[in-house]
Amino acid sequence: MISDNNPSSIYGTQSNGIIYSPFNFKLEPMERLIIFGIENDPDEIYTTFESQIFDDNIYGKGMRILATRNDGYVDVYYQPGLIFNSNDFNQVGKGLRDLIERPMKNARYEITSEGVDLFYTFEDKIGRQIEIKIKENNKKTPKPFNILAPLGAGTYKPDALPLFMLYDIDFIRRTGTEIQITIAGREHKVDKIPLLVDGSKIYYIRYSIDPFLVKWNVAGLETLYPLELSGKLQIQDKDTTYDLIDNKGHYEIKQMSIANEKHSLTVYFKPAVPDIVCIHDGASVKGKITIASEKTTGTVSGEYELSRYGSKIKMKVHPNGGWKPNEPKWSMKLLYAAIPMFKNWTKTYIWTAEIELNEKGQPTMNSEWKRKDYR
């Protein structure tokens, strides 16, 4: 059994009551999203469209469309008033190709008593008119589920681990649904799923009215800043809460969590991540990680390790246990079994970091994510 804390023998100097965290969270606000593909009836440029609705003080208010291209890149069309950074799209395929503002007059994405009501139209960057209309007329009571979105399965060069939890997600039933996908005057057929879900034939159109989108460990070159204990073994750093263990005067990170008004996500470490600036030269630690949101979304598991060599600390995180869903619906269990990617994509992600300790200043860290055996 792995202990919660580390043996005191790994430490070479006394703690001064300040710790440094090599980890971070980034919360991505979004109201709702809907995704569909036309890969079986392809367009000359685009394969998949994802419509996203925002209403917050970070990105603004409006609709944005992520149009995935045949070459793996994404073009992003967005309504005036929305504000984005090109780095926001590093997790999508090969990344951003073009970011294009479009008015999208009368665009809507609403949920009525009969289901999804989606409409938007815009001119793409080469002058073609794209018009999307999806309207459910569904009398059945929806039976939504929760899932870890497999967004990261298609990412070429990730800058973080995308822990995108989709709550109240559902598929659109074929019966009674009006669909019109028109590009440059040609109508395209939407991809379907051959499995029955809740006894109904469905399109491979998935939507969530409650996304909780978290990036863990956004990588790069940075200076680590000190975290000072402000409560009973707990530190509040902006949106992130750290829970600590007192290991004979050394504060170790037992878990870190982030939350919005509805949901939370926690990364657990066992043993706790040590007081990195105080471990002695040659010391090393290996442990387990578990990432969990609400019980219904299951867990991601993996391993972490760190070692000190002189003034440098090398770290590695590998979520090689994959995602273990906690889904009671048999239709979804069959889908996960038929498409292993849902459970296995995190196994291809590896985070490595090198921390340079500086006795006269704050430590600096250079980190990156790579995908193991991927393309």
DSSP per position, 26-56 = EEE--SEEEEEE-TTS--SSEEEEEEEEEEE
The average confidence (pLDDT) of the chain is 92
Question: So what's the pLDDT on residue 122?
Answer: 97
Question: So what's the pLDDT on residue 2?
Answer: 66
111: pLDDT strictly greater than 60: yes
The arithmetic mean of pLDDT across residues 40-47, rounded, is: 95
The arithmetic mean of pLDDT across residues 328-339, rounded, is: 79
375: pLDDT strictly greater than 70: no
Lowest-confidence segment of 96-105, 196-205, 269-278 by average pLDDT: 196-205
The arithmetic mean of pLDDT across residues 168-196, rounded, is: 93
318: helix, coil or strand?
A: strand
Lowest-confidence segment of 139-143, 170-174, 305-309, 367-371 by average pLDDT: 139-143
Question: So what's the pLDDT on residue 231?
Answer: 64
Strands 74-78 and 96-101: parallel
Question: So what's the pLDDT on residue 1?
Answer: 55
pLDDT in tens, 21-33: 999 999 999 999 9
Question: So what's the pLDDT on residue 66?
Answer: 96
Question: So what's the pLDDT on residue 88?
Answer: 82
pTM of the predicted structure, to 2 decimals: 0.92
